[in-house]
Each structure stands twice: as C-alpha cells, then as structure tokens.
Structure 1
C-alpha cells in the first residue's frame, strides 16, 4: 500500500471534492432563485460514502479482491459525488423550488464541513511529515 493511498486520506480527499462541488451547486441554485421553472439541485455523497465504507447498520457486503467481482462494496477510488435535481416541491408560482434561506443554511453548513475536512487532512499530512522527518 502506498503511503498516500491510505483510506483516511482517500476519504478526506473525496469529501473535499464533494464539498467543492456542493459549493458550486449551491451557488448555481442561488443564482437561479428567481428563474422560472428552475428546479434546485443537490449533491449526494454522504450515503454513497457510507455504503462504500460499509457503515450502514444491519447490512454486510462481501469483501472482494477484484473490481469485477459481484456483491462487493464500491472502491473508494471510484466513489464520486452525484448531482441530482430536486423536483416535486414548488415554492413559488413560477414553478421554481429554490428557497434562498435554506440555500444559505446549506452554504454555511458546507463551509463548516469543508473547513473541518481540510483541517483533518492537514493534520494527517502533518503527522505523516513528522513521522518521515522524525522531528
């Protein structure tokens, strides 16, 4: 196993990618808050990560040693956030479902998640640096 391919580093890198994508999606939603017919978009990542890490309660998946084996969990390297359109809820008469206040809350939450992830990744890399240098 390579030094920088540790599962913790992979998860933190994927989380940062998802948070950056979430930031762009939220900004897009805010920019289209008054666009007629616009349906808000959302990034799905947490559930995908839980399934890849086998954190779901009451379920077990098979361990595999080849990506073409059936029944195995998704490899962390293949994990990618997905953007989905949230339809079915209409808040405004122009068929737009963006609530600017909810988007601002999501933006603040995502910023905190990004900051926590970057700090955890920095701490992990500092620990590796300390271990390699020995000081």
Structure 2
C-alpha cells in the first residue's frame, strides 16, 4: 500500500473535493442574489457520504501492489487518480427561508453562513491532510545513527 492510499487520506481527499464543489455552488447562489426567479442550490451531504463509502470500499479491495510513478515527461503516466478530485456532485434546489417579490429565493445571510461553515470545514480537512502527510513523511525518514 502506498502512503497516499491510507484510509484517513482518502477520507480527507473526498472531504476536500466535496467542500470545494459545495463552495462553488454557494458562490453561484450569492452571485445570483438579485436574479429574478432564481432558486438557490446546495449539495446534499448524503452525496458526500455515499461517495466516501464507495471510495473506501474500493480502497479496501484494491491490491497492495507497488504502483508505477511517472516523474519525468517521457515516462508512461500511471492510471487512476486522486479520490475526490474531479468528482462531480449534483446540486439540488434548496430554497432559503425567504422569497422576494421578484421570485428570488436567495437569502444572503443564510448563504453567507453556509459558505463560512463550508470554508471552516474545508480548512479543517486541509489542515488534517497536511498533518497526516507530515506524520507519514516523518515515519518514512531513515533513522539517524
């Protein structure tokens, strides 16, 4: 198993991908706060949990063979990719508590709270990912004699 295949890193990569996609949807909602008949969207957290379960099942069944790594332009690229990177989550309609007279259902206050909460969760996952990689690097260093 490669260090990057550790289940905790898989969990954190999936989390980063989810929160990145969600931030994009929330930013779109805020940008359309004055658009007539616009209904805000959000990504259900259940989608993240399903994607995470599928990814962890796939990691558990993957072989522990040594993987090929391309480190020069002429090398053959390894197959596969990072979990959570490029995964598409489906945004669903999620009207806020108020609708204006022009039919817009975006409440800037609610959207900003969601965006801030999402940012905090993203930064937490990123910090944990960096710390986990640091621990793996430290464990992989040769012991000085």
With normalisation by structure 2, the TM-score equals 0.67
Alignment match, 1:2:
2
Instruction: Quote how far apart the aligned CAs of 1:65 are.
Output: 5.6
Instruction: Quote how far apart the aligned CAs of 1:82 are.
Output: 2.4
Of residues 85, 91, 116, the one that matches 2:93 is 85
Is residue 33–residue 99 contact of structure 1 (8 Å, CA) maintained in 2? yes
SS of residue in 2 equivalent to 1:17: helix
89 and 109 in structure 1: CA distance in 2 versus 1, 3 angstrom threshold: closer
Is residue 14–residue 80 contact of structure 1 (8 Å, CA) maintained in 2? no
SS of residue in 2 equivalent to 1:35: coil
With normalisation by structure 1, the TM-score equals 0.72
Alignment match, 2:103:
95
Instruction: Quote how far apart the aligned CAs of 1:29 are.
Output: 0.6
Runs of at least 4 residues of structure 1 off by over 4 A?
Answer: 77-80, 87-90
The size of the alignment, in residue pairs, is 116
RMSD: 2.9
88 and 102 in structure 1: CA distance in 2 versus 1, 3 angstrom threshold: closer
Query: C-alpha distance in 2, partners of 1:108/1:90?
Result: 20
2 and 130 in structure 1: CA distance in 2 versus 1, 3 angstrom threshold: same
Alignment match, 1:70:
none
- For structure 1, the 5+ residue unaligned runs are 55-63, 67-76
Deviations along 1:13-40, one digit per CA (max 9) or x if unpaired, are: 1111111112111111111001001110
Alignment match, 2:31:
31
Q: Which has the larger radius of gyration?
A: 2
SS of residue in 2 equivalent to 1:42: strand
Deviations along 1:40-73, one digit per CA (max 9) or x if unpaired, are: 01022x323434549xxxxxxxxx969xxxxxxx
- For structure 2, the 5+ residue unaligned runs are 55-59, 63-82
Of residues 124, 131, 134, the one that matches 1:123 is 131
